Amino acid sequence: MTKHQTAIVGIGQTKFRSKRRDVNIPEMIYEAVRMALDDAQLEPKDIDAILIGNMDHFEGINFSEMWTGIDAAPGYLKPVVKVATGGTTGSSLAICGYHNVASGIYDKVLVIGWEKLNEGGATTGIITAFDPVWERPSLAGALGPLALMAGMYSAKYGITPEQAAKVTVKNRSNAANNPFAHLQMPDITIDYVMSSQVISYPLRLHDCCPQSEGACALIYANETEVKKITDNPAWFHAVETAHYYTFGTDDKMYDLPTATIASKKAYKKAGIKDPINDLDVAEIYEPTSWSELSWTEALGFCKPGEGGKLLDEGITQMSGELPVNPSGGVLSTNPIGATAMVRVAEAATQIMDRGEKRQVPDVERALAMGFGGSLWTELMILGKEPMR
Amino acid sequence: MDKDKVAIVGCAQTKYEEDKIDLTVSELVFEVVHQLHEDLGITNDDVGCVITSSNDFNDGRTIANMAIQDAVGSVRKSESRVSGDGAFAYVYGAMRILSESYDTVLVVSHCKCSEVNQYLVNNSIFDPFYQRHLGLDQVSSAGLMANMYMQKYGISEEQAAKIAVKNRKYARDNPYAHLQKEISIEDVLNSKMMAYPLKELDLPPFSDGAVAMLLTNEAKAKEFTDTPVWLKGYGSCTDAYYLGHRNMTDLVGLELAAKEAYKMANIQNPLKEIDIFEVYDAFSFHELMIYESLGLCKKGEGGKFIDDHFESNLPINKSGGVLSSNPTMANGLIRVAEVATQLMGKAGKRQVNNAKIGLAHGMNGICSQGNCVLIFGGE
């Protein structure tokens, strides 16, 4: 299965806000790094390698890891590597960290995702991700394709704007229980979401994720090292990535085939037959309210077209059989290079039973999802016990 | 790390040249992926996952790997991207074999840096608060480093010029190399001053190109080739970010990375025990500094080393090195591919006889900040 069992033993997250004017880039990242080191009771010298990432163009810094890996993290005279894959940057880093340890090359690694969007321009950056000839004049950026997906999904399965709005209400009220979350709205209503400004039909302002500034840091260790650090780690049971077409519009757009492909493989590795019963919590990467409904279908939580019904039945609520995004999800917090890593951090927090007000009872297994690029999915399944 | 568990079973390279304007980045990458498939007689189904290396600034695209998904055949598969030098992508690929997650990994790196204003790309590596406004880039900072090195150890411009002459001479035997015209020491010394003491011919060209290789495990290697090349040692080390925080006269990060790799591969005397070196010679003086950091000679004796070996057939950068072909982000993976090709005995006119152990060096950032040293062995 895997060469060396690998677990998360330390977690750090900054407070996420739309503008962190109190700190510069290295200072902001250091907040998360210090917290993760303290959490694992490790010193900088204990770390073998640093994996760090963000999106180059968002802050306009080339080779950002050569700066941040040294000045914000203990990378001096150590290996420092950057992994960056767009929205999936955080999950790609988390998966890279897994391979760094599971391969036996390193014993303990520090994995960091960050973004300080207010010092750059996310949309300006994202638009350049798309083909200059075929896509850039028509369907570039984040909102356009996501609106198209929401519209196609709604038309195909009769999902209503009310059902989508309910996702925002669920996630932003969950966020009120998460001290790190950016948008905490305990009293948010469906009417409030549905009366917000249309951004790109059918997406309204509150159907969309915010832009946040912040960082997330995780410390990984192998089986031998875990024993010295903690008796409450979160073990990796499966990591899986699926890509698809280069051009998003080659896809059907009303579903997410990469999530279906990746989840089937990951469930098989982790021995999961019925995700609703076998998983205890899921932290999924929902850039819009509509996408959470669609992604829950693609992940096999329900049949295609039944994402709305799954939510209406309360299954994904905090009190439901499979709570989805107790942290408030991406709709509440979105520091792009860290967003997908926050999913992993929150899944690990749930496994460790340290979620306080957002804790789901008796979590044995948790799913974390990253989404990005041209509709890519990355999945990690974490468990309380090592995978045998 | 377990030695001799990851095999390179095939490599493909494009011709490196300026202004490959007839090919998109995706077409450039497809050229090497297709070539690799042809050489190994495999299809996309034989590839477990893909690791790429690219740089958003050089590609002018955020998430630059998005553009090459079809070209690398990652449909329904895992692809991940190291944002940096290709040697680090090789390391990530090797990790995916060693973690026993995949049986085969395709590693690809590309760059079309001749299309880009390299001053802007490299100036953006410096922090936006203190250094960027000084106008530093890879040429001016290399000039600072070369000057300090020259002053401290009494190295001459002629000694550095010998590196450019040697590498350009070797490049004539490498069909993939960009600059294949032989030059003299006088040509280097008389070329246009760029950043003292660096002249135009002390510096690499800007090239477009791509490189790909297939990695596999012990069980599968012989299914693909009779001449797999095994990973025997690895070390990686990153120096301080600010130039003022660094010892600019010695490549400290490279020295530590090499020590780690030698220890793992059980190498006591690198010059004797290693048959072929491919190093990231970002500028002529840099290769002299690399000799010292790799322990091929004592500190400060890089100049003497080239004087002593200039007439001999030094097995260092037989490909012509970065000074002859420079698709920046791909340089490290090209070093790995060149070492692997030598150890497979398939290097044609540039082949070193009886090459059994090889060293490849990759680099990230300005003036050797991030370093990766890999030791390989043939069958």
Question: Is the pLDDT confidence value at A144 over 80?
Answer: yes
Mean pLDDT of the region A117-125 = 85
Average pLDDT, integer, range A261-268: 98
SS3 A9: strand
Partner residue opposite B66 with nearest CB, options A24, A58, A86:
A86
Cβ atoms of A308 and A347 closer than 8 Å: no
pTM: 0.98
Stated as kind and residue range, the H or E segment containing B106 is strand B104-112
Q: Which whole number is the average pLDDT over A340-356?
A: 98
Mutate to test the interface with B, among A6, A51, A62, A109 (most CBs of B within 10 A): A62
CA distance A345 to A107: 19
Range of weakest confidence among A34-48, A104-118, A135-149, A273-287: A135-149
Cβ of A243 within 8 Å of Cβ of B83? The answer is no
**Angle in degrees, CA A318, A341, A247, rounded to 5:** 105
CA–CA gap between residue A116 and residue A122 (Å, rounded): 10
CA–CA distance from A291 to each of A75, A167, A329 (Å)?
37, 9, 12
B236 token code pair: 């990686």
Domains observed in chain B: 6-117+206-224 (3.40.47.10)
Residue A321 pLDDT exceeds 60? yes
Q: What pLDDT is attached to residue A245?
A: 82
Q: Please indicate if any CB of chain A lies within 8 Å of the CB of B62.
A: yes
Flag if B99 and A84 touch (Cβ within 8 Å).
no
Residue of A nearest to B96 (CA): A99
| pLDDT above 80 (res B65) | yes
pLDDT at A289 > cutoff 90: yes
B261 CA: distance to closest CA in chain A (Å): 12
- Complex ipTM tops 0.95: yes
Residue with tokens 């638009």: A127
Give the Cα separation of A377 and B34 in Å (integer).
26
Q: Indicate the residue of A65, A246, A261 with minimum beta-carbon distance to B67.
A: A246
Strands A365-372 and A376-383: antiparallel
> Number of helices (H) and strands (E), helices first, in chain B?
15, 11
pLDDT 10s digits, B204-235: 999 999 999 999 999 999 999 999 999 999 99
The answer to whether A103 contacts B95, with C-beta atoms less than 8 Å apart, is yes
Task: Answer yes or no: do A1 and B100 touch at CB < 8 A.
Answer: yes
DSSP B75: B
Cα–Cα distance measured from residue A352 to residue A362, given in angstroms and rounded to the nearest whole number: 10
Query: Looking at the predicted structure, is the pLDDT value of residue A92 above 70?
Result: yes
Contact B256 A77 (CB under 8 A): yes
- Going from the C-alpha of B66 to that of each of A31, A244, B21, B49, B63, the distances in angstroms are 31, 10, 20, 15, 6
* Chain A, nearest residue to B243 by Cα: A67
* B96-125 residues touching A, CB cutoff 8 A: 96-101, 121-122, 124-125
Q: Measured at the alpha carbon of residue A115, what is the angle toward residues A114 and A117, in degrees to the nearest 5?
A: 170
pLDDT digits over B33-49, tens only? 999 999 999 999 999 99
Q: Which residue reads 């896809």 in tokens? A: A251
User: Out of A58, A63, A100, whose CB is closest to B95?
Assistant: A100
Instruction: Give the number of other Cβ atoms within 10 Å of residue A160's Cβ.
Output: 11
Q: How far is A229 from chain B (nearest CA, A)?
A: 22
Distance CA(A173)–CA(A183), nearest Å, equals 9
Which residues does A324 contact at the CB level (< 8 Å), separation at least 6? A281, A282, A283, A284, A292, A296, A301, A316
* A306: amino acid identity, one letter: E
The predicted model gives B130-145 an average pLDDT of 96
**Cβ-based contacts of A57 with chain B (< 8 Å):** 56-57, 62
Residues in chain B: 379
B370 touches chain A (CB under 8 A): yes
Task: Answer yes or no: do A81 and B63 touch at CB < 8 A.
Answer: no
Task: Give the burial class of A385: count Cβ atoms within 10 A of its Cβ; 0-12 exposed, 13-18 middle, 19 or more buried.
Answer: exposed
Nearest-Å Rg of the Cα atoms of chain A is 19
Residue with tokens 């929401």: A150
What is the edge-to-edge ordering of all strands in the sheet holding B6-13? Answer: B78-83, B49-54, B104-112, B208-217, B6-13, B229-238, B370-377, B357-364, B276-278
**Contact between A13 and A98 (Cβ < 8 Å):** no
- What is the rounded CA–CA span in Å between residue A287 and residue A280? 22
Q: Is B361 helix (H, G, I), strand (E, B) or coil?
A: strand
B325 has a chain A CB within 8 A of its CB: no
B353-373 average pLDDT score: 97
Confidence grade of residue A250 (pLDDT, cut at 50, 70, 90)? confident
Burial of A81 (0-12, 13-18, 19+ CB in 10 A): buried
- Chain A residue numbers with beta carbons less than 8 Å from the beta carbon of B61 are 128-129
Domain-wise residue ranges, chain A: 6-122+211-229
Q: Of B132, B143, B119, B204, which is closest to residue B367 (Cα–Cα)?
A: B143
Q: Give chain B's radius of gyration (CA, Å).
A: 19
Structure tokens at B154: 């009494």
Q: What is the mean pLDDT of residues A84-111?
A: 98
What does the mean pLDDT of chain B come to? 97
Digit-coded pLDDT (tens) for B15-34: 999 999 999 999 999 999 99
The Cα B81–Cα B103 span in angstroms is 19
Residues B62, A57: C-beta atoms closer than 8 Å: yes
Please tell me the predicted confidence (pLDDT) of residue A53: 97
C-alpha distance from A308 to closest chain B C-alpha (Å): 27
B2 touches chain A (CB under 8 A): yes
pLDDT value at residue B55: 97
Polymer length of chain A: 388
Chain A CB contacts of B26 below 8 Å: 246
Measure the CA–CA gap between A267 and A300, rounded to whole angstroms.
10
- Whether residue A34 contacts residue A232, with contact meaning beta carbons closer than 8 Å, is answered with no
Q: Which helix or strand (DSSP H or E) is residue A386 part of?
A: none
- Strand order of the β-sheet with A49-53 is A80-82, A49-53, A108-116, A213-222, A6-13, A234-242, A376-383, A365-372, A281-283
Average pLDDT over residues A362-384: 97
Q: What is the pLDDT of residue A2?
A: 65
pLDDT digits (tens, 9 = 90+) for A169-220: 999 999 999 999 999 999 999 999 999 999 999 999 999 999 999 999 999 9
- A218-238 tens-digit pLDDT: 999 999 999 999 999 999 999
A241 to chain B, closest Cα gap in Å = 5
B75, B101, B240: residue with CB nearest A76: B240
Which token pair is A263? 């989840």
State both tokens at B275.
């048959």
Architecture per CATH, A6-122+211-229: 3-Layer(aba) Sandwich (3.40)
Query: According to the model, what pLDDT value does residue B118 have?
Result: 95
pLDDT at A359: 98
Looking at every residue in chain A, the average pLDDT score rounds to 96
**Chain A 257-296, CB below 8 Å of chain B: which residues?**
261
Evaluate whether A210 touches A18 at the Cβ level (below 8 Å). Answer: yes
Q: Inspect the interface and report whether the beta carbons of A61 and B65 lie closer than 8 Å.
A: no
Q: Which two tokens stand for residue A344?
A: 């992993």
Q: Hey, is the C-beta of A134 within 8 angstroms of any chain B C-beta?
A: no
**Both tokens of residue B97?**
């074999």
Average pLDDT over residues B315-336: 98
Chain B CA closest to residue A264:
B76
Q: Output the CA angle B40-B44-B46, nearest 5 degrees.
A: 65
Angstrom distance (rounded) from CA B11 to CA B40: 9
Distance between the two ends of chain A, CA-based, in angstroms? 8
Summarised one tens digit per residue, pLDDT across range A9-20 is: 999 999 999 999
What tokens were used for B41?
């007689």
Residue B105 is encoded by which pair of tokens? 């990994």
CA A63, CA A40: separation in Å to the nearest integer?
28
Task: Name the burial class of residue A270, with classes exposed (0-12), middle (13-18) and buried (19+) by CB atoms within 10 angstroms of its CB.
Answer: buried
pLDDT value for A1: 45
How far is Cα A349 from Cα A8, in angstroms, rounded to an integer? 10
Contacts of A244 in chain B (CB under 8 A): 69, 75-76
List pLDDT tens digits, range B174-196.
Answer: 999 999 999 999 999 999 999 99
Size of interface A-B (CB pairs under 8 A): 189
What would the two tokens of residue A247 be? 């051009």
Contact B375, B357 (CB under 8 A): yes
Question: How would you class A136 by CB atoms within 10 Å of its CB: exposed for 0-12, middle for 13-18, buried for 19 or more?
Answer: middle
Q: How large a percentage of chain A has pLDDT more than 90?
A: 88
Distance CA B149, CA A68 (A): 27
Residue of B72, B115, B241, B366 to mutate, testing the A interface (most A Cβ within 10 Å of its Cβ): B241
